[in-house]
Amino acid sequence: MNVKLNSNHRQTLMDRFLRYVKIDTQSNEDSETSPSTEKQKDLSRLLAQELRDLGCNDAEMNEWGYVTATLPANLSEDHPAAGKVPTIGLLAHVDTYFSTSGKDVKPQIIENYTGTDIQISAEQTLTVSDNPNLAKCIDHTLIHTDGTTLLGADDKAGIAEIMTLIAWLKENPDFVHGPLRIGFTTDEEIGRGTENFDVEDFAADYAYTLDGSELGEIEDETFCADSATVTISGHDVHPGYAKDKLVNSLRVAAAIIEKIDEKFLPETTEDREPYLHPYIASGDVTKTEIKVLVRSFTVKDLEEREAHLAEVVKEVGRRFPKAKIEIDIEESYRNMGYKIKEDPKVLDYAIEGIKRAGVEPLRQAIRGGTDGARLSYMGLLTPNIWAGGQNFHSVQEWVSLEWMVKAVEATAEILGVWVERS
């Protein structure tokens, strides 16, 4: 059965997305609670109810804001694959990026996009030169921000697509599929999306996140990721009597950031090149903390970047001998490609399903991470499929509705491949 969403499904998909993005679910990196913000549960509660309305009677939200649900297999007892199809999980995350506001999102809709630059506000223009994928979306329906907030396509596009797929499967019982588990997580944007996720209880054999970007993307590799915290302890005295006494931790922090080799920064790297990214510096004369993201596709390169950071700290320490400088490295996640290679059919079947949806698969590595990275190391192999959004984390975020539609169709086709190959 060739999967095609009709105009009603297309409208429902857009309506769902617009409804979800208007709920503020911004996570908070500085919070120690789980979820990091209670408002994430506002969307989780809604999704649990909508899943129950779609017939997923076991849909529930737990204390951490995770939503889980089951759609049973619909194969007849005499079907050759009955009882043999693995349980497939479909996942997306409810939270939005912690550093850009997701409150009072005002989605702007363009029907039949003509291929020109888009004036999203008096001060901001979404240019084709800076957004070459716009040229691939002529005649599409585009949804973008008003330039004051992010849009939330990361990952509410993925949520809307999964919900629309469930509705489509219920309406099309002739399309046979194996057992499905649905999961919506919290705090993905701060690297804690699977912190309290019970893989054994979720009970899926393989899974996919719908959290990618461009049409056709199937991502089976992520960065290996560590987080480095550099803590500088100085000594504060009255500046009028500071000679040979004051140790300004702010100056030491500035020297460390300046000393990081420019060729190792995210703004100077691309493709499979690793980077160091100092993204938060906070403190005062007495104590300053620098948070640094360390990213690489291999553990070897990760260690080399960390060694560079350590050498920078050592050199700056010689310049400021009275300052105390400490580095703490915390592992975040590892390249899920190492795990997926151990059982590549989860990738192969996805590629086949994408082709059946009439889309050219775009296999690539994520210069970032998804819940799937940690889930793969927790025993649930989880490649990432596109959801359609562009300019994630930005007030210039946008999404193509047609790319979202194709994500739904391709995911359904993937489910069909699992039945065939079982």
Amino acid 205: pLDDT: 98
Q: Which CATH number fits domain 224-332: 3.30.70.360, 3.40.50.150, 3.40.50.1220, 3.20.20.10?
A: 3.30.70.360
Amino acid 369: pLDDT: 76
From first to last of its 422 residues, the chain has per-residue pLDDT tens of 689 999 999 999 999 999 999 999 999 999 999 999 999 999 999 999 999 999 999 999 999 999 999 999 999 999 999 999 999 999 999 999 999 999 999 999 999 999 999 999 999 999 999 999 999 999 999 999 999 999 999 999 999 999 999 999 999 999 999 999 999 999 999 989 999 999 999 999 999 999 999 999 999 999 999 999 999 999 999 999 999 999 999 999 999 999 999 999 999 999 999 999 999 999 999 999 999 999 999 999 999 999 999 999 999 999 999 999 999 999 988 999 999 999 999 999 999 999 999 999 999 998 877 899 999 999 999 999 999 999 999 999 999 999 999 999 999 999 999 999 99
Distance of alpha carbon 82 from alpha carbon 316, whole angstroms: 65
Q: Which residues are tagged catalytic?
A: 95, 188
pTM of this prediction? 0.88
Amino acid 6: pLDDT: 95
Q: Which CATH number fits domain 7-222+335-420: 3.40.630.10, 1.10.3720.10, 3.40.605.10, 3.40.50.300?
A: 3.40.630.10
Question: Which residues of the chain form CATH 3.30.70.360?
Answer: 224-332
